[in-house]
Structures are given as structure tokens and as C-alpha cells.
Amino acid sequence: MVRRIIWIILVLQLVCAAAYAGDPARDLAVAGLVEPSGIDQSLVLDIRYATENNFTGRRVYPSARCFLRADVAKRLLGVQKDLRGQGLGLKAYDCYRPFSVQEAFWRIMPDERYVGKPARENGVIVKSSRHNRGAAVDVTLVDAHGKELPMPTGYDDFSDKAHRNSPAAAPEARRNSLALERAMQAQGFEPLPTEWWHFDGPGWEAYEPLDLPLPADH
């Protein structure tokens, strides 16, 4: 029943968002993306690409907002609900990412272990990141006060230390990473082997890649 109510709320949010005055938010809503933090405000956002605290050293998003496909958002909220029962929660680093941003990232870090290679043919997107589909999320664990738990590395650490099962991880960090992985998998998410923070929503292949811009801050 609770999950059905969450789903109804997400759909209502989708419909209401279509009426936004701002074109970017309306376009994302029409494409089927919603903001999970609008449903559950206990979800902590630290959208790094809306700051200079990321591997590019530049702000590349106009706002620190998280958009996901409705089903992916519903599953993420399921994870958050389960974690709250343990005195924990999620912090999101990245959600939907416009394809043009993916192209910029590839120019900086052309390594498919960490950045999905983007490709266009005759102007049509033929290869993209799951983030470009609104079907992937980068997250970590926080305690009841919103403080991050120790993890194997920092976010966007493009090294072997960030890989799952890395022997370099401290015992506490390893336990936390496994706890995050289990919580996400319980809701159907698929972990990326080379990044402890990256998870793909099930059925991501069914969603088309998008190059819709993110809206500015409210």
C-alpha cells in the first residue's frame, strides 16, 4: 500500500510538473522524469556538478536538483525508507545528466571504466551513459544527522581503490560500501563494478538518452 501511494504521488508530481512555467522542468516532466527529493525531503542532495567540488573543477549544472525516471525514483525512495529504519539514509551526488555534459566529461576523462562513452551518428545519440537516460544514480550513506559514513574513496575517485571488492578499502569503509550495495540491490538496482557509488535502475535500456537541460534553481 505504501509503495502504491508513493507511486501515485510520483505520477501526480509528473503531471503537476508539466505545468511548470520553466521550459526545462516541463520538458523533463514530459519526458517522464521526477524529483524524488520532492516526495521525501529526508533524501540528502549533494549534487557535485552544481558546484566546483568535482573532477572538472567547474560548475556544470545550473542547479543542485536530482531528476530520475519515475520507476527509478520510486525504487530510490524505497531504499531511503528501508535505511531510515536503520537510522541511516542516502545522499545523492548525481542523477539525470544531460548528454552534452556527458560529452564534456568524456573529453576530460576518456576512460569507459568511469565515464560512459557518448556517441552521435547524424546528430542522433547512439551511445550514452545510464545517467543520460535518467536511470542511474550516484549515492552514499549518511547517518541520522546527515553525516557521510566512511567509504573506500571520495566521490569520482577514478582509481582502482574505488572498485567494488578493492583490497585497499579499510574494514569500516568496506562494510559501509557493502551495506549500501545490499540496500540498493534490495530495490532492484545494479551496482557498477568500478564505482562504489554508482547504481543503475533495472530496465535502464528501455529509456532513451536525453539531452534536455536541467532547470535553474527554484
Residue span of the structural domain in which 47 resides? 35-206
User: Quick check: 17 pLDDT over 50?
Assistant: no
- 150 in any annotated domain: yes
Average pLDDT, the chain: 90
- 1 in any annotated domain: no
Q: Which of 103, 112, 181, 195 is catalytic?
A: 195
Report how far residue 59's alpha carbon sits from residue 20's, in angstroms, rounded to the nearest whole number.
25
- 61 in any annotated domain: yes
Report how far residue 136's alpha carbon sits from residue 68's, in angstroms, rounded to the nearest whole number.
8
- 67 in any annotated domain: yes
User: Could you read off the pLDDT of 112-148 as tens digits, one per residue?
Assistant: 889 989 999 998 898 889 999 999 999 999 999 999 9
User: Quick check: 91 pLDDT over 70?
Assistant: yes
- 3 in any annotated domain: no
User: Quick check: 18 pLDDT over 80?
Assistant: no
Please give the tally of structural domains in the chain: 1
**Tell me, what's the pLDDT at 1?**
53
CB atoms within 10 A of CB 47: 18
- In the chain, the N- to C-terminal Cα span, in Å, equals 32
User: Quick check: 168 pLDDT over 90?
Assistant: yes
- 11 in any annotated domain: no
**Tell me, what's the pLDDT at 131?**
96
Contacts of 113 (CB under 8 A, 6+ apart): 158, 194
User: Could you read off the pLDDT of 53-90 as tens digits, one per residue?
Assistant: 999 999 999 999 999 999 999 999 999 999 999 999 99
User: Quick check: 169 pLDDT over 80?
Assistant: yes
Confidence of residue 156 (pLDDT cuts 50, 70, 90): very high
Supply the CATH number for residue 137's domain.
3.30.1380.10
195 is catalytic: yes
- 27 in any annotated domain: no
- 99 in any annotated domain: yes
